[in-house]
Amino acid sequence: MRTLLFIFGIIILIGAEILRVYFIMPFPGSQQAETIEIAYFLHRYINLFRLLGFALVAYPFIYYFRSGTLGARVTVSLFLVVYLVVFYLFNFRFLAEKMFYQPSHKVFATRDASKIPTSNLIIGITLDGVSKAYPIQLIGYHHQVRDTIGNTPVMITYCTVCRTGRVYSPLVEGKDEQFRLVGMDHFNAMFEDANTGSWWRQVNGEAITGPMRGKMLKEIPAEQMQLGAWLALHPTSLIMQPDQDFQEEYDGLKNYDKGKGKSHLTRADSLSWKDKSWVVGVQRGMHARAYDWNDLLQHSVLQDTLAGTSLLITLENDSASFHVFDRDTLRFTFDPATHSLSDVQTASHWNLQGQCTEGTLKDKQLPVVQSYQEFWHSWRTFRPQTTAYKVTGKP
């Protein structure tokens, strides 16, 4: 009986520590199953499992250490050492918050003082007449950065495993909330709020478990493009600068923009419609559609209609900066020689930023439609209703 108590206690101690982290980190096989409720239960009640485990092993350990043979004392001691090693690894090495930290020094610079190459991808936001750019190389490591743009608090987030950049209001039920990176669910970063301990998905701002389950963070419109393209549209924009405390971590993401991440989790697939293929995703109401990045590279311009909205998807000459616009009733033709557009109705000329530069509609700007560049596996997982756009004839 003493031996069984000790074995059960050790299994509870080691199993609870491992499974609590295994289910919310990208270990082999951990992200495919629907185990988030189990993970949350273990996370919330880990101290009870520890107390139960120690209660079961305490008496056998004391007995064997006092009255057992040398072999028994060595055996029970080794098992406890194994538990202590597991405890250290799964509480101080493998936890997301122990691997990714918030910036110590948040510095912004104008275009003339910026150290960020203009070819780097950024998440750009304009609020209250103020524009700011957040390089993906930086926020990709931090996963979230809190800031204020104009008078508006914002939470800029990025998941490198899903290639998802999202910006949210950190207000929950009218109160400013603090979040920490706690792990991931189906390969998407997951945050925990400080007040209720609920877990929130990065990809859509939804609380998926805990007291706030079903609540949604308000998304703030943002665009992804190269810094040079952003500055062409917003020349007075401020640009987030590297925090020197994390330069080594930033260096590990220097090729991420181009899909050449060090890990298989972040490295892009050059073929179309593979798990790690890039897509441009658009959602209108309950309808969603994905546009193959390779199609966009080939044609530069795609036109489609989704849920009653006529869309124009464009790719700038840098082959990295994309835009999605509401073209209303306009239909466009693309001239690859000049990299410009003409609308069929008025023959006015437009650039790939959705601005009319010449003709009847000169100075008109097409309304921007919120869109995302994302890995195909992520887009279809979190928007299972999505359809895939296929080029037929002229795009």
Please, which pLDDT band fits residue 246 given cuts at 50, 70 and 90? very high
Query: Beta-carbon neighbour count of residue 137 at 10 Å?
Result: 24
For residues 333 and 299, the answer to whether their CB atoms sit within 8 Å is: no
Q: pLDDT tens digits, residue range 165-207?
A: 999 999 999 999 999 999 999 999 999 999 999 999 999 999 9
Please, which pLDDT band fits residue 394 given cuts at 50, 70 and 90? low
CATH fold for domain 278-388:
Rieske Iron-sulfur Protein (2.102.10)
Which of 300, 306, 290 minimizes the C-alpha distance to 372?
Answer: 290
Which of 117, 122, 118, 179 minimizes the C-alpha distance to 145?
Answer: 179
Residue with tokens 């124009």: 312
Q: pLDDT tens digits, residue range 41-73?
A: 999 999 999 999 999 999 988 888 888 888 888
Q: Is the pLDDT of residue 98 over 80?
A: yes
Query: Beta-carbon neighbour count of residue 181 at 10 Å?
Result: 23
Q: pLDDT tens digits, residue range 290-336?
A: 999 999 999 999 999 999 999 999 999 999 999 999 999 999 999 99
Q: Is the pLDDT of residue 395 over 80?
A: no
Chain centroid, CA 246 distance in Å: 19
Q: pTM score, two decimals? A: 0.92
The C-alpha atoms of residue 291 and residue 314 are separated, in whole angstroms, by: 11
Tokens of 260: 């050449």
∠ Cα 158 128 114 (to 5°): 55
Please, which pLDDT band fits residue 90 given cuts at 50, 70 and 90? very high
Per-residue pLDDT, averaged over 120-129, amounts to 97
Long-range contacts of residues 58-61, Cβ cutoff 8 Å, at least 24 apart = 59/2, 59/5, 60/2, 60/3, 60/5, 60/6, 60/9, 61/6
Q: Is the pLDDT of residue 32 over 90?
A: no
The C-alpha atoms of residue 368 and residue 354 are separated, in whole angstroms, by: 8
Tokens of 72: 């028994």
Helical H runs in the chain? 2-22, 36-44, 46-67, 70-92, 136-142, 227-233, 247-251, 293-299, 376-382
For residues 264 and 160, the answer to whether their CB atoms sit within 8 Å is: no
281 or 263, greater pLDDT: 281
Long-range contacts of residues 260-269, Cβ cutoff 8 Å, at least 24 apart = 261/160, 265/26, 265/160, 265/161, 265/187, 266/160, 266/161, 266/163, 268/163, 268/375
Establish how many alpha carbons lie within 13 A of residue 147's alpha carbon, considering only the half-sphere containing its beta carbon: 27
167 or 96, greater pLDDT: 167
Q: Is the pLDDT of residue 5 over 70?
A: yes
pLDDT value for 65:
83
For residue 73, give every residue at least 6 positions away whose Cβ sits within 8 Å of its Cβ, in sequence order, or none: 64, 65
Per-residue pLDDT, averaged over 372-389, amounts to 98
The domain ranges of the chain are 2-94, 108-258, 278-388
65 or 273, greater pLDDT: 273
DSSP code string of 77-109: HHHHHHHHHHHHHHHHTSSGGGT----SS--EE
Give the mean pLDDT of the chain: 95
The C-alpha atoms of residue 137 and residue 255 are separated, in whole angstroms, by: 9
Q: Using CB atoms within 10 A of its CB, is residue 155 exposed (0-12), middle (13-18) or buried (19+)?
A: buried
Output the CA torsion sign for 153, 216, 201, 41. Answer: positive
Q: Is the pLDDT of residue 100 over 80?
A: yes
Please, which pLDDT band fits residue 217 given cuts at 50, 70 and 90? very high
pLDDT value for 64:
86
pLDDT value for 73:
87
Query: Beta-carbon neighbour count of residue 81 at 10 Å?
Result: 10
Per-residue pLDDT, averaged over 271-288, amounts to 97
The C-alpha atoms of residue 372 and residue 113 are separated, in whole angstroms, by: 29
Give residue 144's region: left, alpha or beta (phi > 0; psi -120 to 50): beta
331, amino acid identity: R
